[in-house]
Amino acid sequence: MAGEAQEKEKRKMKSAKKMRDIMTNYYIEAKTAGETGKKVAWITSGGPVEPLIAMDVIPVYPENHGAMIGASKMGGELCERAEELGYSGDICSYARSDIGCSLVDGGPIGGLPKPDMLICCNNICGTVLKWYEVQARYYDIPLFIFDTPFCHTEYADEAKKYVRKQIDEYTGFLEGVCGKKFDHDRIKEVGRLSVEGQQLWQEVLDTAMNKPSPMTCFDAFFFLALIVTLRGTQETIDFYRDLLEEMRGRVAEGISAIPNERYRLLWDNLPIWYRIKWLSEKFASHDACLVADTYTSAWCGSLKYMDENNFLDSMAEGYTRIYLNIGVDEMIKIVLEMVDKYDVDGFVMHSNRSCKPYSLGQYDIQRAVQREKGIPSLIIESHMVDERSFSESQTETRIDAFMEMIRQKK
């Protein structure tokens, strides 16, 4: 037993505590914004946050909060609150639990700080538009919609012009709500920090290319919080530098994320927040390490369009061409690249009832991966934070069968 505890201790991520502290401080600052006179904006996870930071507005992410609700297994209960108001149990469980939470100030941190404004960018889905309309009515506050036309096959010139114009409208909106001029010098600095943070995050994720991998996608789901909530700050850069160092150290010392990494897998879609531990243990018991995922890399996937020396202009394209705002064939290309890059033996797809833009099209992606790479795949269905829609026994059987297939193949 002592050996096992030691073994566990060795594998523990040292940076985890630091990140928890940073996140706690962040939420304390956000929840006490009333005392410091700072404004609070609720913003979608893929939304352009840098202008907020440049204006000293505290960005708060209902989606990150949703993840926390899910991880604390409080999603079902809060979703039920929304259903009592007439919201269908079929809609996004982030939205349902957030709407429920606004009513009762419940959840793991007693609700989010009240927003002074809402920033909704539809590059991740159309659902956020409806969700933010609900909150705009509830809190009776201004809503800015940053409309990023979907790029099925191209980023059209017309869209380019439209999105670029909206950046000026966005900064104008912020000037109005904050009652001060937009700081064009500061945004250059924030943009530079944002790009650097994204680069570092990509480097962290890249360490999973090592065999055995020093981290799993479940770790990435956890460490993701900073690049989502605090991108554009020095703190994020410092943290990811340390994390990168820790990962490189693990690689050097041969510390792997799971005890016996025999099989390497790729995860698709958002996490099943209330089953992270269960899933990671389940796969580890099969000596399978989920080394990478399509989800956490979305926060650095459009780096190629970003120019830190011309941030505001390049941000238009960067935010419009993120992973979820592109056609299924484009997504297939990215998935195939990841299969090679991380050298995986199987593909685990979370068919997420909460997220149609991420999930519809998965069957076509699955077939393409099987056809091009010949690796087995698995589909697990759930609502990402509503545990009432999950079947443990069904999922368990599927995982076991999937792992048998992989074993036979290897």
Binding site for another protein (CB under 8 A): 76, 80, 83-92, 95, 122, 125-127, 129-131, 133-134, 136-137, 143, 145, 147, 149-153, 156, 158-159, 161-162, 165-166, 169, 327-329, 351, 353, 356-357, 359-364, 381, 387-394
Measured from the CB atom, is 343 or 372 closer to another protein? 372
Shortest spacing between CB 276 and another protein, in angstroms: 16
Nearer to another protein, 36 or 393 (CB): 393
261-262-268 Cα angle (round to 5): 80
Closest CB to another protein among residues 13, 82: 82
Nearer of residues 15 and 359 to another protein, judged by Cβ: 359
Please tell me whether residue 351 adopts helix, strand or coil conformation: strand
* Radius of gyration of the chain from its Cα atoms, rounded to whole angstroms: 21
Q: Please report how close the Cβ of residue 165 comes to another protein at its closest, in angstroms.
A: 4
Cβ-based neighbours of 261, under 8 Å, separated by 6 or more: 211, 212, 213, 287, 288, 289
Identify which of residues 148 and 216 has a Cβ nearer to another protein in the complex. Answer: 148
Which residues does residue 351 pair with via DSSP β-bridges, in sequence order? 381
Residues 6 or more apart whose Cβ sits within 8 Å of residue 23: 225, 226, 229
Chain centre distance of CA 114: 22
| Residue number with CB closer to another protein (27 or 131) | 131
Smallest distance, Å, CB 378 to another protein?
15
Please say which residue, 13 or 312, places its beta carbon nearer to another protein: 312
Task: Name the minimum Å distance from CB 161 to another protein.
Answer: 7
Q: Are strands 377-382 and 263-268 parallel, antiparallel or unpaired?
A: unpaired
Least Cβ distance, residue 240 to another protein (angstroms) = 31
Please, what is the minimum distance in Å from the beta carbon of residue 330 to another protein?
Answer: 9
Select from 144, 138, 140 the least CA-distant residue to 98. Answer: 138
Are the C-beta atoms of residues 317 and 305 closer than 8 Å to each other?
yes
The nearest distance, CB 395 to another protein, in angstroms, is: 10
Residue in the structure block whose two tokens are 């990215």: 334
Phi and psi for 253 in degrees, rounded to 5? -85, -5
Q: Which is nearer to another protein, 161 or 211 (CB)?
A: 161
For 146, residues 6+ apart whose C-beta sits below 8 A from its C-beta are 47, 48, 119, 120, 121, 122, 123, 166, 170, 319
Residue 181 Cβ vs another protein, minimum distance, rounded to whole Å: 21
Q: Edge to edge, what strands does the sheet with 117-121 contain?
A: 58-60, 40-43, 117-121, 143-146
Q: Nearest-CA neighbor of 66 among 385, 389, 390, 352?
A: 385
Which amino acid would we find at residue 378?
L
Least CB distance to another protein at residue 333 (A): 13
